[in-house]
Amino acid sequence: MHPFVWNHTDQPRNPNYEKDIVYVTKHVKWILNSIGIWPVMLKTIGECLPKIAIVLSNLVVFFIQGLYVLHIILEQQDNFLRLRLLAFAWYSLISLMKFWALTMRKPNIKYCVEEMYADWKQVELQRDRTLMLKYGKIGRDLTIYSAVFMYSASMSYVAVMQYAVGSHVDENNRTIRVLVYPAYSGLFDVQKTPIYETVYILQCMCTFVLNTVSSGTCGLAALFATHACGQIDVIMSQLNDLVDEKFTFKKNYDPDTRLMEIVQHHMKILKFSAIIETVLQEVCFFEFVGSTFVICLLEYYCITDWQQNNKFSLITYSMLLSSLTFNMFLLCYIGDLLIEKSANVGISCCMINWYRLPIKTSQGLILIIAMSNNPLKISAGRIIYLSLSTFGSVLKTSFAYLNFVRSTVIY
């Protein structure tokens, strides 16, 4: 059986649905499969692999983060260097919480993926398929952009900073190989081979897991939100068909039945969007809080490295700052796109030639307009809605924190 074949009794109306599904989900599926978050759709021997990936990812992050935090608390005495190390500790904690939130929401993620697959199977008109592919491409491209920014910045940080830090000789004439994420040496001697190499490899794995969570969150939001936007465009095209002459002059055309189908489709999208909100509310809240503070610290690191003419560190921190800022921008852009597109359904009801419809049918449009008055939104913990104005608030708050940090450290 093909992996995209579902247990629905309806026969697929879209002969290209398998190819379309692969096109829009391929990249986010690759990302989330690596940490065990993408739902397994078929009961096969591979069911246990996501659980293994989740356990291993948690163990690696716990191990590296534990050594890192112990070093900050017990070994590092310089408060300025502690501040330099704080960004990764905070970022790893926030990413770990996002990972747990995604793990907890796996049943809801599976429901949304199943609904997506069902929509792709049942699309009939080539026009509707084109609209869905248009927004599917947007979600696919946003996922790629997020992954490229996050992985290139983080992996270059692990590689370039490791090279820039290098090694030094201590007062006992012992060569100290410095790790980019300093590790607590009270449990074992990190300088010994192969312990040093093992810890460094685990740090690379930890960085991969943390950035997979960040890019996977953005990819999942882009996949679901753009699918909802594509379905909304399909609804608007169906509303235009209500008064299209090539449909209204058909003998078996019933505008009331057609409007009922449109309302049912709209209600299905509203339910789908409510599940999206449930899936993303915790991870978006952690992203909102974490990005604000980490962006502030990275801005401070860039300023101090600029003043000290530390080129290697300045470049890597600038890349990290750009990747986190861009990732937060993508989430806010996705939320803004969903708000704008869902509000257009009510506008579309007003713009069609509704006066050509029977009176009872035209009155039914009021229900769709009323539902569109409350646009679909993605919230961060049901506290703040993601939009471009929210992105501006994140930047302003991070600059406010930056001024506070600078004044505290200087004085």
Query: In the chain, where are the structural domains located?
Result: 17-410
Hunting for tokens 């989330």 — which residue is that?
32
What are the pLDDT digits (tens) for 23-34? 999 999 999 999
- The mean pLDDT of 156-171, rounded to a whole number, is 70
Cβ-proximal residues to 42 (8 Å cutoff; 6+ apart), any chain:
1, 3
Is the pLDDT at 214 greater than 50? The verdict is yes
Structure tokens at 104: 């907890």
pLDDT at 1: 34
Is the pLDDT at 61 greater than 90? The verdict is yes
Cβ-proximal residues to 125 (8 Å cutoff; 6+ apart), any chain:
none
pLDDT at 5: 37
Helices (H), ranges, 166-254: 195-241, 245-248
Structure tokens at 176: 């100290």
What are the pLDDT digits (tens) for 306-340? 988 888 788 888 888 999 999 999 999 999 999 98
pLDDT at 3: 37
Is the pLDDT at 44 greater than 70? The verdict is no
Greater confidence (289 vs 247) lies with 289
Percent of the chain with pLDDT over 90: 38
Structure tokens at 36: 């065990």
Listing DSSP states for 296-327 in one string gives HHHHHHHHHHHHHT-HHHHHHHHHHHHHHHHH
Is the pLDDT at 190 greater than 90? The verdict is no
pLDDT band at 6 (very low <50, low <70, confident <90, very high): very low
What are the pLDDT digits (tens) for 230-264? 999 999 888 887 776 555 555 566 777 888 888 88
Cβ-proximal residues to 330 (8 Å cutoff; 6+ apart), any chain:
142, 145, 146, 218, 222
Residue 5 DSSP one-character state = -
Count other C-beta atoms under 10 Å from residue 103's C-beta. Answer: 17
pLDDT band at 184 (very low <50, low <70, confident <90, very high): confident
Residue 171 DSSP one-character state = T
pLDDT band at 195 (very low <50, low <70, confident <90, very high): confident
**What torsion, rounded to 10 degrees, do the Cα atoms 185, 188, 191, 195 define?**
-130
Neighbouring-strand partners of residue 326: none
pLDDT at 258: 82
Helix then strand count (H, E) for the chain reads 11, 4
pLDDT band at 168 (very low <50, low <70, confident <90, very high): low
Is the pLDDT at 169 greater than 80? The verdict is no
Give the integer Cα–Cα distance in Å for 133 and 354. 29
pLDDT at 13: 76
Instruction: Yes or no: say if 13 and 122 are a contact pair by the CB < 8 Å rule.
Output: yes
Amino acid at 346: G
Spatial CA neighbour of 238 closest among 358, 137, 123, 136: 123
pLDDT band at 9 (very low <50, low <70, confident <90, very high): very low
